[in-house]
Amino acid sequence: MGRHVVAAVSEIPPGERKLVEYEGRSIGVFNVKGKFYALRNRCAHQGGPLCQGRLTGFLQARVPGEYAYSRQGEMLRCPWHGWEFDIKTGQSWWNSATMRTRSYEIDVVPGKEITGPKQGPYEVETYPVAVEEDYVVLVLP
C-alpha cells in the first residue's frame, strides 16, 4: 500500500526503464513516449523476469502476406519465451486473451509535492533534486 517515489522524470528518458522493488514486489517502471507505466516483473506464463524484456510493437496480418506494424515500443516481450504484454494495460497479446500481468498506477507529480520531510531520504540518497524537477511516483494498491 502506498505511494513510492521511483525516480526523477529525467532519470527514465523515453524508451528507458527502471526496475524497482517495493512491498516485496519487483516492478518495472517504463517511459514510453513520455508517459510512464509500471508492470510487475513476473511473466504470467512461467514467472520469467518480464521487465527485462524488449519493448517491441504489435505485428498483425489481416490476411497472409499483408502486414501491419503498429504501437511501436508499447509491447513488452518476456526475455524467456517471448510472451507479449501491452505495456499500458498489462494485457497479454499472446496465447490467451484473458492472461494479464499486474500493472500499477503511475503518477507524475510536481517536485514540490514530495519534497516534504516524509520523502526526504529519497531525494538525498537516490535522486538528485532540481528545483524544477518532476518525480515519477509509483502507486501500489
Partner 1 sequence: MEATLVDPAFTTRKQSGKTAIIDTDIHVAMTSPEMLLKFLPKSWHRHHEIVGWRGHIGSAYPRMMPNAARRDALPPNGGPPGSDLEFLREQLLDAWQMDYGILTPLTGSGGEVNLQYGAALAAAYNDWQIEEWVNREPRLRASIMVAYEDGELAAREIERVGDLDEFVQVLLMVRTREPLGHRRYWKMYEAAVRHELPVAVHFGGAGGGPITGSGWPSHYIEDHGGMPQAFQPQVASFVFSGVFEQFPTLKVVLIEGGLAWMPPLIWRLDSCWRRLGEEVPELHRLPSEYVREHFWITTQPMEEPPQAHYFTQLLDQMDMSDKLLFATDYPHWDFDSPTQALPSGLDQELRRAIMAENARKLYRLN
90 binds partner 1 (CB under 8 A): no
From the centroid of its chain, how far is CA 20? 10
31 binds partner 1 (CB under 8 A): no
119 binds partner 1 (CB under 8 A): no
Nearer to partner 1, 73 or 79 (CB): 79
67 binds partner 1 (CB under 8 A): no
Q: Which 8-state DSSP code applies to residue 60?
A: E
40 binds partner 1 (CB under 8 A): yes
Q: CA Rg, the chain, in Å?
A: 17
24 binds partner 1 (CB under 8 A): yes
Identify the residue among 56, 58, 73, 82 touching partner 1 (CB under 8 A).
82
111 sits in the region (left: phi over 0; alpha: psi -120 to 50; else beta) called alpha
80 binds partner 1 (CB under 8 A): yes
79 binds partner 1 (CB under 8 A): yes
Q: How far is the CB of 91 from partner 1 (least distance, A)?
A: 19
Buried b (16+ CB within 10 A) or exposed e, 18-55: bebeeeeeebbbbbbeeebbbbbbbbbbeebebbebeb
